[in-house]
Amino acid sequence: AQSVTQLDSQVPVFEEAPVELRCNYSSSVSVYLFWYVQYPNQGLQLLLKYLSGSTLVESINGFEAEFNKSQTSFHLRKPSVHISDTAEYFCAVSPSGGSYIPTFGRGTSLIVHP
């Protein structure tokens, strides 16, 4: 079994400031890690994922996340946020074998102020 903890339910930040959304997980097996983004009244979209290889993964819109196995973390960062980044962000973990069924965190609401 695995679990995901998103440490902040809400993160307010000013436009062009850096941001970090925190995610910690626990699992007894090897895992894949994901960040999804959800805009109001929409479904989730994959932002980035870690499967293997380089521990630093990047998205096309400037977000990055680093897999830290010793700290069991997968924090999401962006050096300069835009108003359009305002959304709900979900961290998810799935076992790297077997059923692959993911477990989602409770989400972090990123609110970007002008």
Footprint of another protein (CB under 8 A):
9, 32, 34, 36, 41-46, 49, 51, 90, 94, 99-102, 104-107
By beta-carbon proximity to another protein, the closer residue of 33 and 112 is 33
In the complex, what is the shortest distance from the CB of residue 43 to another protein, in angstroms, rounded to a whole number? 3
By beta-carbon proximity to another protein, the closer residue of 29 and 46 is 46
User: Cα separation of 90 and 74, whole Å?
Assistant: 11
The token pair that represents 15 in the structure block: 């436009």
| Residue with tokens 């521990």, as numbered in its chain | 55
By beta-carbon proximity to another protein, the closer residue of 53 and 114 is 53
User: Cα separation of 59 and 73, whole Å?
Assistant: 18
In the complex, what is the shortest distance from the CB of residue 80 to another protein, in angstroms, rounded to a whole number? 26
What b/e sequence results for 8-27 when a residue is b if at least 16 CB atoms lie within 10 Å of its CB, and e otherwise? eeebebeeeeebebbbbbeb
In the complex, what is the shortest distance from the CB of residue 24 to another protein, in angstroms, rounded to a whole number? 14
